[in-house]
Structure 1
Amino acid sequence: MNKNNKTVLLIIFLLGIFIGALDTGIVSPARTVIASGLSISSSSSVWIVTIYTLAYAVSMPIAGKFSDRYGKKKIFTLSIALFGVGSLLCCISDYTGSFSFLLAARVIQALGGGGIMPVATAYIGESFPPEKKGSALGMVGAIYGVSTTLGPTAGSALLNLVGNSNWGMLFFINVPICIAVIIIALLVKDEEVVKAPKKMDVLGSVVVTLVILSLMYALTNLQFHDFANSVTSAKVWPYLLVFIILLPIFIVIEKKALDPVLNLKYFTNREIALTLVIAFITGAGMMGIVFVPQFGENVLKLKTGSGGYLVTLMAVFSGVSAPLGGKLVDKYSPKLVLSMGFISTLIGSSTLAFVVATQPSFISLLIGLAFIGLGMGFCMGTPLNYLMQTNVDATETASAQSTLSLIRSIGVAISPNILIGFISEAGKNLAPKLMNVLPKITVPGSNTAISMAQGGSASISPDQLSALQNADVTTITDTLKQFSSSMIDKFSPMLKQQMQGSKLPKGVTADALIGKWKTDYLSQIDTSRTTIENVFQSTLNNGFAKLFIGAAVIALLGLIFTLLLSRKKSISKANL
């Protein structure tokens, strides 16, 4: 293949990685908007993300195996086509108003998306000589990292531009890019030598699909902060049981298969097994960035929705460290770059937990996010992709990349469920702490003073509790004023009855007295605004601190397993 054709193919593979990774995050801020547009519940809307995650995980190993058999460009082009068709159908679902239609479209989109990243990464890694492989994969890491972290920000910006009623445009923007990539891919000749096909492992493909689906769905629903109750729920234990039963059956099938869909030797080779463990840890730690906007808003006392630029800052640092990490892999080793990444993440997470959460400031927040961004760039793709590609046979690089991506996806699936428990616990403590700092109420005609915590927290309706949970540090005082106002209105009839038998000042009615009492009390809440905001901020920050300590522990585990890697850049492939 001539140099120009090779360059063009590299560009379209990178473009495919960009749109595939961007779409993963771009839908997140729109989930509630889509739920409102289709008139579905918030719990049902979770399936917009869940069904994509499941189909995406299933398609990766199968797409990787097909690309090793029939050619990476062919399978990549087919994957882009499926992704484009699925995106178009997702857009159309905005106008059909059918949630079932949207879910079916998301499955088609995910089946295509699962073949984009691993196949493209394998092709790009193969296209460069060993001494430049790290730099090439550094480009992949930079684009994947930047597009993943920018996804939520891009989604919010696009919704602001086209309006919430046109949420289908979030998906439609993929369509023209997919068409362009397909046309160019079909025009460019590729002289790739593919693996001589053996008998297709159909049974293994079916069983691995069921194994992945059962495991991923169980992990998605498993709540680690309430593990005992969660693991016994109907959404978890039956699927874990299916996984436990099918796993040994799958192993037996793959050992007998001439061309297994998943090479079990990856898990018995020490170096590759360590790489897969580190990939799992990287996926688990990576999802900590989901909570960065909310944490930044609370720390800097910003309105909800304005913390997206903090993720952009992380993306900038990630975009710098990913290509730098690629060059360092070429010059030194992937072990060094992974160590730098986990150390950076450890420093960044510890800074957020022990400094920013206790003494909030923009400078300390920026320092913490900068280190996390650098850590993401170093760990995200380059060294792990390099380790997989240099330690397997050239005829199965895409299958190896797919296995790596699958293991990382499992880490991503369980991460939010591990970390969200800390925020949930802080949320439970929020209401009673806020009730305790509200001014005490002096009932008219009585010298008795009561605090809102004595009767208020027990009388919170589900709607009021939801309003408290959805409030941010900039709106919490007004939310508490609305809550207090409703509570006083609830007590007013009883107070009027008590006043009927008492002597009121001349010309003053019971309604006027209660109205003045209400106004005075709400004014006292306004006077306590700073105290209320500080209690709200510190309570949530305590939960975030524990969350980032958890992220730091995950990074430390990653560092420990990284230190167990060989110092060599590659190992013998004789046993694979």
Structure 2
Amino acid sequence: MKEKLQSLSYYRWLIFGVTVLGTFMATLDASIVNVALPIISGELGSQLTTVQWVVTAYLLAISSLLPLFGRAGDVYGRKKIFTNGFLIFTIGSALCGISTDIKLLIASRVIQAIGASMIMANTQALVGAAFPGKDRGRALGIVGTVVALGSMTGPSLGGILVGTVGWSSIFWINLPIGIIAYILGQIVLPTGENRRDESFDFFGAFLFSVGMISLLLVLSEGHEWGWRSYTTISTLLISAVTLAWFVNYEGKLKYPMIDLTLFHRWPFLAGTLSGLFSFMAMFSNNMLMPFYLDNVRNLAPTHIGLLITPFPLMMAVVAPISGYLSERVNLKLLTVGGLSITITGLLYLSGIAPETELWKIALCQACLGIGTGLFQSPNNNSILSSVSAEKLGVAGGINALIRNVGMVSGTAAAVSIFEFKRRIFLENIAVPTSTQLTEAFLSGYHIALLAGACFAAISAIISLNRQSHIR
């Protein structure tokens, strides 16, 4: 049957369909949980600071494991790692659904994250291998659309499920999807070359995981712990020591977990750095905009969702078009053009007032979606096209890792800048009025969005100096 499938003219699109199903499920589950946190907190009797770890633990686990499973896919076969990821993700989802204790739920989310990282780390490699050369940009553009659709669908679907069935339903919905995806993966995906003669670097994987988890903990929790606190400094020290040890150790191995020589290639390094700063810029807005609409404009959650929706909607529309164009025009036109639109949108938002018309805010969200869609597809294409076929797994894992690090870093930077500026504004006011609270909020919001525009500008400068050749 596999031979018959492989003879079909559209076989690579069957591979694509299976891989994006995994991408959709992983991104959907990352966003669907947020809306259920207040309900979970009440029903499981836990504080919001504790229940937030349902999201944080998932993100930390995924980020620390992405390059590991990208490398595992290169060594043991991408099909094996990718399809087994569905099984583990499905088991984790079932455990989440039956959890009656917050600790069990958090532990189950880590199991989910292990499966999700196995899927996400190999998605781009599977797509890149199935669509070599100029067709790769179009396929990666559609992957960007699927990511946007998963993120866009999550909150609305989660709200419906939580309101009608209960919070556990947001996990049970993954079971049929995961089982179907596993079966389709076994049938459709090519077995590929199995390079078992290469050893897997388990100690390097351990060092990297400890270092990344420590770093992301500091980035995500530093504003709560205090940037000069003993906890922050000691955790950052652990991260610095283990990551430095990792880099030194990897350089001595014949088969390292992460081939650090990839970063010697300017197209790869430029693409990853540009991607990092672009996600930092994006999440400076994504994190604070809902609070502006709630605290300053006093909008209902439904209206907030509607005003934010233009961002993922326009990204879903533009990403495949940009991917298609990346096969035909200079990459710099798309990446720098997209980042320029992002900078313009963030600069406008850095000056909004309590009376700014809502349609202008919605239009800015649409512009940010267009800018992100224009940038992401050709940037991903550039990264994957800069490495050889046998390194696609680890390259895709690093690319996905950079996305998560950018999200966490952008959120941490935005929140820290916002809180610092807001507290300075209020430090000499004993009992602030509602007007003063609004002014304090906007003072922090404006400077945080300016910082986001600076991140986008750094990304644009790097992208402007990249090589644009796609092989």
Q: Is the 8 A contact 2:31 2:155 kept in 1?
A: yes
The DSSP-based 3-state class of the residue aligned with 2:254 is coil
Are 2:323 and 1:326 aligned?
yes
Partner amino acid, structure 2, of 1:168: S
The DSSP-based 3-state class of the residue aligned with 1:256 is coil
How far residue 186 of structure 1 moved from its aligned partner, in angstroms, is 2.1
Q: Is the 8 A contact 1:434 1:536 kept in 2?
A: no
Structure-to-structure mapping, 1:441-520, within 5 angstroms: none
Distance in 1, matches of 2:356 and 2:467, equals: 41
Distance in 2, matches of 1:387 and 1:417, equals: 28
Distance in 2, matches of 1:254 and 1:123, equals: 25
Distance in 2, matches of 1:210 and 1:345, equals: 34
How far residue 202 of structure 1 moved from its aligned partner, in angstroms, is 2.1
Distance in 2, matches of 1:326 and 1:430, equals: 47
1:222-278: CA deviations, max 9, x gaps? 22xx9xx82332432222112222233212321222211111112232222222211
Q: Is the 8 A contact 2:134 2:470 kept in 1?
A: no
2:125 aligns with 122
The DSSP-based 3-state class of the residue aligned with 2:327 is helix
The DSSP-based 3-state class of the residue aligned with 1:15 is helix
The DSSP-based 3-state class of the residue aligned with 1:114 is helix
How many residue pairs match? The answer is 463
Q: Which has the larger radius of gyration?
A: 1
2:220 aligns with 220
Distance of aligned partners of 1:84 and 1:331 in 2 relative to their CA distance in 1, 3 Å threshold: same
TM-score, normalisation: structure 1: 0.75
Partner amino acid, structure 1, of 2:344: I
How far residue 402 of structure 1 moved from its aligned partner, in angstroms, is 0.6
Are 2:447 and 1:546 aligned?
yes
1:413 aligns with 408
Among 84, 89, 94, the residue aligned to 2:95: 89
Distance in 1, matches of 2:98 and 2:187, equals: 29
Distance of aligned partners of 1:170 and 1:430 in 2 relative to their CA distance in 1, 3 Å threshold: farther
How far residue 201 of structure 1 moved from its aligned partner, in angstroms, is 1.6
Return 5+ residue gaps in structure 1 as ranges: 438-531, 571-576
How far residue 535 of structure 1 moved from its aligned partner, in angstroms, is 6.2
Structure-to-structure mapping, 1:159-238, within 5 angstroms: 159-162=162-165, 166-188=166-188, 190-195=190-195, 197-223=197-223, 230-238=226-234
Partner amino acid, structure 2, of 1:272: F
After TM superposition, the structure 1 stretch with the greater mean CA deviation from structure 2, 1-10 or 323-332, is 1-10
Distance in 2, matches of 1:273 and 1:350, equals: 27
1:266 aligns with 262
Distance in 2, matches of 1:282 and 1:189, equals: 32
2:290 aligns with 293
The DSSP-based 3-state class of the residue aligned with 1:235 is helix
Structure-to-structure mapping, 1:36-435, within 5 angstroms: 36-93=42-99, 97-162=100-165, 166-188=166-188, 190-195=190-195, 197-223=197-223, 230-287=226-283, 288-297=285-294, 300-304=297-301, 306-354=303-351, 356-357=352-353, 359-380=355-376, 382-424=377-419
Q: Is the 8 A contact 1:321 1:374 kept in 2?
A: yes
1:423-462: CA deviations, max 9, x gaps? 435765679989666xxxxxxxxxxxxxxxxxxxxxxxxx
Distance in 2, matches of 1:393 and 1:105, equals: 36
Q: Is the 8 A contact 1:219 1:236 kept in 2?
A: no
Distance in 2, matches of 1:436 and 1:101, equals: 42
How far residue 538 of structure 1 moved from its aligned partner, in angstroms, is 5.0
Percent identical residues:
26
1:475-526: CA deviations, max 9, x gaps? xxxxxxxxxxxxxxxxxxxxxxxxxxxxxxxxxxxxxxxxxxxxxxxxxxxx
Distance of aligned partners of 1:74 and 1:157 in 2 relative to their CA distance in 1, 3 Å threshold: same
Distance of aligned partners of 1:141 and 1:537 in 2 relative to their CA distance in 1, 3 Å threshold: same
Are 2:38 and 1:35 aligned?
no
2:3 aligns with none
- Alpha-carbon RMSD: 2.5
Distance of aligned partners of 1:58 and 1:187 in 2 relative to their CA distance in 1, 3 Å threshold: same
Larger RCO (CA within 8 A; separation ≥ 6):
2
Distance in 1, matches of 2:230 and 2:117, equals: 28
Q: Is the 8 A contact 2:36 2:167 kept in 1?
A: yes
Partner amino acid, structure 2, of 1:167: W
1:101-150: CA deviations, max 9, x gaps? 11110110001111222311111122123121110110011111232244
1:278-321: CA deviations, max 9, x gaps? 12112212322133333334565423453112222211111111
2:7 aligns with 2
Return 5+ residue gaps in structure 2 as ranges: 1-5
